[in-house]
Amino acid sequence: MIRLRFLSAAALLTAVAAPVLADNPQFQGADPHATMIDGELWVFPTGGPGGSWAADRFGAFSSRDLKTWRPRGELIRRDQIAWIGADGAREHFLWAPGVATRDGKWYLYYSVGPQNPTPSRIGVAVADRPEGPYRDIGRPLVTGGQGFEAIDPMAFIDPNYGKAYLYAGGSAGAKLRVWELTRDMIGLAREVPVETPPQFTEAAFMHERGGVYYLSYSHGRFNGPDYSVHYATAASPIGPWRYRGAILTSDRRHKGPGHHSFVQTPLVRG
């Protein structure tokens, strides 16, 4: 298990004086998207470099041994996103980054909240390297509304057919939506109608193994005993889903497993 400090991004709406930590914390972060890059495990969390919980920037960390973690610096800041104040809301927060790479470029997808008084939005920024700097494309990719909360983006490139998909949504509306991305990864080619799987709340993650597509996601409230990770499988990245049950749940010692990612790693802890 990666040794991180986990705190739900939703808690950033309020002042956090003493977050609940994992047994063996290594660095501060939430909503982690983990992926292997050139033999290193990279983690892209909510929360900026230096342990910032202002939700105004994103950072990244990497490790070759799961014990020593290298801060990768600042990816993008809130004040570098020109459209972020166009909704007229008094304050904004950056949450839940997800990364993808294609044709030599890196893409950082992220949530801009809160949901009220204006709808949440999803943005995307582009870089030449995983550590950035990332440049926002100048417009939101998805805007929430009408019961849909535009949060927790996850981009997945189907290794079997080459199409790229964006998964997003959850929380209050608890609705999953999926779009096929354009080849350049910064536009929406079309929305793909999908069912919302049982027990879905937020934080969809897609991966494929042996021709089976695994959709995992969070269920419950971020600060409650029911917060957990569930999954469903399908023969395609857009369903139909077969619900398989819970993967991680709270117990007497460990509370609130939720936003997550899967990664296949050759790393072995010594």
Domain ranges of the chain: 5-248
Q: Mean pLDDT across the chain, nearest whole number?
A: 87
* Separation of alpha carbons 78 and 240, rounded Å: 37
Neighbouring C-beta atoms of residue 39, cutoff 10 Å: 10
| pLDDT exceeds 70 at position 224 | yes
Vertex 96 angle, CA 256 and 21, to 5°: 35
Query: Rounded to 5 degrees, what are φ and ψ at 90?
Result: -75, -35
Q: What is the pLDDT of residue 51?
A: 58
| pLDDT exceeds 90 at position 270 | no
pLDDT in tens, 26-59: 677 889 999 999 999 999 999 867 656 779 999 9
The token duo for 25 is: 């914390």
* Separation of alpha carbons 268 and 224, rounded Å: 33
Return the CATH number of the domain spanning residue range 5-248: 2.115.10.20
